[in-house]
Amino acid sequence: MRHTLPITPQFYVTAPQPCPYLEGRMERKLFTALQGSEAQRLNDSLSKQGFRRSQNVLYRPSCADCAACLSARIEVGAFTPSRGQRRALYRNRHLDRRASSAWATAEQYALFRRYLEARHADGGMADMDAFEFAAMIEESPIRTRVVEYTSRETGALVAVGLTDVLDDGVSMVYSFFEPGLPRQSLGTYIILDHVEMAREAGLPYVYLGYWVPGSPKMGYKAAFAGLEVYSGGEWQKMRDEADYHHRLHPLSNDPVSEQVANISLPDRRSARPARG
């Protein structure tokens, strides 16, 4: 007997824990499981509403202290690189891109460890072992690709992006790179190359994750032209950072029940009844 799971997911809220972006704040996430034959459609729909994927879970910040985290995406048609971004493209012209199915390798994990130890030694992923790394890469019920960047000169792997393919763009789930090459601006280059990937595929957006006003860790995203943020239930052109500071106030966040009620789910026109 084969069953198709309905597109009526249950939503839950995590327990509060220290916010990784704003000192002295507590974060909380609204989340749901991503599974079944309709997982791709659910991910496509909720990604347009500010959700992000982590393995088999879709989540969105739902903090009591503020509503500062804003999902951000680049509109490919409105993007033009800045002078500094053009330099990053030039400095990395020797890199080759290879996109493949989501499969973890020892070489990727070694690069990942170097990146964490240099950039995020005290972060939540610092203790991730090889098995947990493999789960992060491989446990995906949707269209996911590992994008590797290797040096044409040495053959060395210097950057990796874990990327979901949506119906309207590519979503950068996680990326890491060789920390010993700061002049190459590899983090910027990976984003720029994903803009090119989306353009090649005829997709209008590159989803970047969350931008947080007041957080130095997230400030780099505001440097990309064509940036949009999801605010007030809609995507809008990025304005001056100061325009979003009101979201740091606790009263800027809707109650969880209202947040869930306002989530739009994909219709069930393609769902098939169970067969015996």
pLDDT single digits (tens) 36-52:
889 999 999 999 999 99
Same domain for 184 and 171?
A: yes
Instruction: Give the mean model confidence (pLDDT) for residues 132-140.
Output: 96
Instruction: Give the mean model confidence (pLDDT) for residues 236-241.
Output: 89
Same domain for 157 and 35?
A: no
Q: Nearest 5 degrees, angle CA 91-CA 172-CA 85?
A: 25
**Going by C-beta distance under 8 Å and a sequence separation of 6 or more, which residues neighbour residue 22?**
66, 68, 212, 214, 215, 248
DSSP β-ladder status, 227-231 and 95-101:
unpaired
Q: What is the pLDDT of residue 239?
A: 87
Question: Which position has the higher pLDDT, 44 or 4?
Answer: 44
Same domain for 64 and 84?
A: no
Domain assignment present for 275: no
- pLDDT band at residue 20, thresholds of 50, 70 and 90? confident
**Cα–Cα distance for residue pair 192/264, rounded to 1 Å:** 31
**Cα–Cα distance for residue pair 61/31, rounded to 1 Å:** 9
Same domain for 114 and 176?
A: yes
**Cα–Cα distance for residue pair 8/74, rounded to 1 Å:** 29
Domain assignment present for 200: yes
Same domain for 47 and 177?
A: no
Domain assignment present for 274: no
- CATH number for the domain that contains residue 184: 3.40.630.30
- pLDDT band at residue 2, thresholds of 50, 70 and 90? very low
- pLDDT band at residue 252, thresholds of 50, 70 and 90? low
CA dihedral 204, 58, 255, 246 (to 10 degrees): -50
Helix (H) or strand (E) holding 238: none
Domain assignment present for 1: no
Of the listed ranges 57-71, 188-202, 226-240, 246-260, the least confidently predicted one is 246-260
Report pLDDT digits (tens) over 72-120: 999 999 999 999 999 999 999 999 999 999 999 999 999 999 999 998 7
Q: What is the pLDDT of residue 249?
A: 78
Q: For all residues of the chain together, what is the average pLDDT?
A: 90
Same domain for 228 and 127?
A: yes
**Cα–Cα distance for residue pair 15/27, rounded to 1 Å:** 8
Domain assignment present for 267: no
Question: Which position has the higher pLDDT, 232 or 227?
Answer: 227
Instruction: Give the mean model confidence (pLDDT) for residues 192-220.
Output: 92
Same domain for 139 and 89?
A: yes
Same domain for 135 and 221?
A: yes
For residue 181, how many other CB atoms are within 10 A of its CB?
Answer: 14
Same domain for 54 and 141?
A: no
Same domain for 231 and 97?
A: yes
Number of structural domains in the chain:
2
Structure tokens at 169: 């763009």
Instruction: Give the mean model confidence (pLDDT) for residues 208-235.
Output: 90
Same domain for 55 and 132?
A: no
Instruction: Give the mean model confidence (pLDDT) for residues 233-255.
Output: 82
DSSP β-ladder status, 12-13 and 29-33:
antiparallel
Same domain for 128 and 201?
A: yes
Report pLDDT digits (tens) over 156-173: 999 999 999 999 999 999
Residue 18: beta bridge partners?
26
Residue 46 belongs to what domain range? Answer: 12-69+244-261
SS3 at position 226: coil
Domain assignment present for 276: no
The answer on pLDDT for 149 being more than 70 is yes
